[in-house]
Chains A and B, each alone.
Chain A
Amino acid sequence: MTSAAALVCVLLLAGEQPRYHVGVDAVRVDVLVTDAHGRPVRGLEARDFELRDSGLPQHIDVVAFEDEPVRVLLALDVSGSVAGEPLGHLRRAARSVLDLLGPNDRASVVNFGEQVRLTAPWTNDTRELSGALESSRAQGATALYDAAFAALMLRDRQPGRFLVIVFSDGADTSSWLSARDVVDLARRSDAVIYTVGVRHEERQPVAGYRVDVSSGVQWGVPDASDAQLREPFLAALSAETGGAFVTVESTLRLRATFTSILREFRTRYLLTYSPRGVSPTGWHPIDVTLTAPKGQVTARRGYVR
């Protein structure tokens, strides 16, 4: 929750650009509330939420809903295993997200194989973003951890709600950084991370331990399926940040998945509070509930400062 470090006020850029005055150490928590059918619940106010930081009830200063511009970073796996049709599906999915951006929203694209490339820096020029997507080629191994780390580090310098969509169809094979490094950084960020994987048939890969670095073809581990290697990281990353981990049966489903993620993100509430009575440092578990049983709450598990 580093956004709070020097925050004197939260400046909301949308509409009339209202100013909300909160504490110096304000914490922002993105919250999704859904009903029994998984549909977003709208119209909630501060009094509808209860928030505990490290077990202590906190006063919620601000509840924002669709007020602040969105900053979407797409971190897309373009390793060798995505070559061919899947890359086309991935491009279309990414373009569909860009099509949904509002005038104040901005996006950026990071592609990764064994290299991590900033394909498109932060911009609201959708033509520039689309052009960057077309230039991506699928090759090499998979530096998933390095890419996720870079995605979190490269958040837009302009304020907004930070959404990261990470797509990967395989396990990490070439990162220098570890999964734990990334999860640790995610705990210190206010980004909401949605992760998207492709469901492979269990045990389909040939026996072995990792990826062919030249072709990008994936192999599983004899004692564990590919899914067991890949999904814990993607699931942990999204759970830590209050996002979701989605697996698709086929890359044909990526477009619908990506757009539903952005639509869902727009329906989230942004709670802001100034922590009281809690330690100024360390891990702070957060628990967000509703005062009345109006739906299910999804939020990050906590934050580190």
Chain B
Amino acid sequence: MRAPGRILTRILAAACLSSGTSVTVAAQSRAVRPVDLSSYHVLVVSYRAGRTSPVLEIMGWPPRRLLSIVDGIEGPGDPVRPWDTGRFAAAAWMHTDAALRFIGLGDRDGASAQLDAASRVLRAGGARTTPLARQWYFAVVRGLRDRQWLATAERLLQLGRERMPGDPVVLRESGMLAELLATDPTIPPARAGLADVLAARRQTPLVEPFTALAERRTRHLDDADRWLRQALDREPSSVDCRLHLGRVASLLDRQDAPALLETVRAAEAAYAYLADMFLGASAERAGRMDVAESHYRSALERLADGHAAYMALARVLRMAGHTDEARGLLDASVSRSPDDRREPWWWYFYEAPGLAAARMDARRDEARR
């Protein structure tokens, strides 16, 4: 089968990326393998044995053909059915590695097709691959988030919800990602609020994107609320889920938001700190500054070095006219600033550096054993 030009470009780009060879040399050195289920098996077995060339080769397969081949796994024409779970895992991670290489090349469509293929592979295993699929979605979504490929992570979770409906991990990750997309510091409500400042300055061309961002924020918050509630129904003991839902619910002015966050205040310090911060922010939005102040002070009692709590408390005190106290607080915070400061807010959406990559490596290693 003759690969289309774009696909061939992908093969060559991937090969050059991995080997550092020139495009011409890479083109001459690659043999063309038929794109069919038998060849697919060869690639999976080879990948499982630890080789990387199958990843480069699968990147060159036309996406539609690839997906149709994957859909034939364990079908009547499959020469090696039934599959063992190790083979499913190897195939899924082969596609994942191909997706990561496409990401490195900046090719979103290529990455999405490979992730779709991996997801279909895991679906083909039915109940046998449910635990494997759950681990895979978690590891890959966190990995994509770590690489800032949030739109790709969003699409992958959509596949996860379609193919593993009701799965608590997929729902929890979906809710957290939707919350991040709604409230990421680079897309905050206040940024939408800046629109009126800019409009006043007649910079109307910039207002439209902010309006669009505000609409996107609301849509994502509604999604986050729905998915986190479904996840919490299935995982009632998840503090993470409760904290994120509490925040999302408070941003949507849901009546049960305070109760959700109050229950988190009994958890360990970092969670309790954030629960107090979110309760404080919620009180601020409601105009109850004394309540907000009380929550921010409570947060500081839990974590004396809490950067966000200092900032929030200073602002509230400043608004209440206690300028000297506000300044004293800020002075205390910015003069100290220890190197090892661990502000939970900084890690609310993202894991510690390297953790997501290490998790993916571990899962990949398991798949290739």
Interface residues of A (CB under 8 A from B): 2, 110, 114-118, 121, 141, 143, 146, 149-150, 153-154, 171-181, 183, 185, 206-215, 219, 221-224, 228-229, 232-233, 235-236, 239-240, 301
Distance, CA A208 to CA B315, complexed state (A):
31
Chain B contacts for A219, CB-based, 8 A? 148
User: Does B353 interact with chain A (Cβ within 8 Å)?
Assistant: yes
Chain A contacts for B354, CB-based, 8 A? 214
Q: Indicate whether A207 sits within 8 Å of B198 (C-beta atoms), given known contacts A150-B334, A179-B191, A214-B354.
A: no
User: Does B181 interact with chain A (Cβ within 8 Å)?
Assistant: yes
Q: Assess the B106–A179 pair: CB atoms within 8 A.
A: no
Q: Assess the A185–B318 pair: CB atoms within 8 A.
A: yes
Chain A contacts for B327, CB-based, 8 A? 153-154
Q: Assess the B346–A141 pair: CB atoms within 8 A.
A: yes
Distance, CA A213 to CA B146, complexed state (A):
9
Q: Assess the B318–A207 pair: CB atoms within 8 A.
A: no
Chain A contacts for B323, CB-based, 8 A? 2
Q: Quick one: which of B148, B185, B193, B277 contacts A175, CB cutoff 8 A? A: B185
Q: Assess the B307–A116 pair: CB atoms within 8 A.
A: yes
Distance, CA A181 to CA B149, complexed state (A):
29
Q: Quick one: which of A110, A121, A180 contacts B194, CB cutoff 8 A? A: A180
Number of interchain pairs (Cβ within 8 Å): 140
Q: Assess the B185–A210 pair: CB atoms within 8 A.
A: yes
- Nearest CB to that of A176 among chain B residues? B308
Chain B min CB distance to A142 (Å): 9
Q: Assess the B108–A178 pair: CB atoms within 8 A.
A: no
The winner among A116, A149, A232 for most chain B CB atoms within 10 A is A232
Chain B contacts for A209, CB-based, 8 A? 148, 150-151, 180-181, 184, 186-187
User: Does B62 interact with chain A (Cβ within 8 Å)?
Assistant: no
User: Does B314 interact with chain A (Cβ within 8 Å)?
Assistant: yes
Q: Assess the B318–A172 pair: CB atoms within 8 A.
A: no
Q: Which of B41-59 contact A (CB under 8 A)?
A: none
The winner among A117, A176, A223 for most chain B CB atoms within 10 A is A176
11 A-B contacts, Cβ less than 8 Å apart? A141-B346, A149-B314, A154-B330, A176-B345, A177-B311, A178-B189, A180-B193, A181-B190, A207-B106, A210-B148, A224-B209
User: Does B258 interact with chain A (Cβ within 8 Å)?
Assistant: no
Q: Assess the A116–B312 pair: CB atoms within 8 A.
A: no
Q: Indicate whether A116 sits within 8 Å of B334 (C-beta atoms), given known contacts A175-B185, A181-B315.
A: yes
Q: Indicate whether A208 sits within 8 Å of B353 (C-beta atoms), given known contacts A115-B307, A117-B334, A154-B327.
A: no
Distance, CA A232 to CA B343, complexed state (A):
27
Distance, CA A232 to CA B218, complexed state (A):
21
Give the total of B residues in contact with A, Cβ under 8 Å. Answer: 54
User: Does B255 interact with chain A (Cβ within 8 Å)?
Assistant: no
Q: Assess the B198–A232 pair: CB atoms within 8 A.
A: yes
Q: Which of B168-197 contact A (CB under 8 A)?
A: 180-181, 184-191, 193-194, 197
User: Does B74 interact with chain A (Cβ within 8 Å)?
Assistant: no
- Nearest CB to that of B343 among chain A residues? A114
Distance, CA A301 to CA B146, complexed state (A):
41
Chain A contacts for B314, CB-based, 8 A? 149, 153
Q: Assess the B353–A214 pair: CB atoms within 8 A.
A: yes
Q: Quick one: which of B108, B210, B326, B337 contacts A153, CB cutoff 8 A? A: B326
Q: Assess the B307–A180 pair: CB atoms within 8 A.
A: no
Q: Assess the A213–B194 pair: CB atoms within 8 A.
A: no
Q: Quick one: which of A153, A223, A233 contacts B318, CB cutoff 8 A? A: A153
Q: Which of B330-369 contact A (CB under 8 A)?
A: 330-331, 333-335, 337, 341, 343, 345-346, 350, 353-354
Distance, CA A229 to CA B188, complexed state (A):
11
Q: Assess the B346–A208 pair: CB atoms within 8 A.
A: no
User: Does B212 interact with chain A (Cβ within 8 Å)?
Assistant: yes
Q: Quick one: which of A149, A212, A228 contacts B311, CB cutoff 8 A? A: A149
Q: Which A-B residue pairs are the 9 nearest by beta carbons? A: A178-B190, A208-B148, A214-B353, A176-B308, A180-B190, A118-B334, A117-B337, A180-B193, A219-B148
Distance, CA A114 to CA B341, complexed state (A):
10
Chain B min CB distance to A184 (Å): 9
Chain A min CB distance to B225 (Å): 20
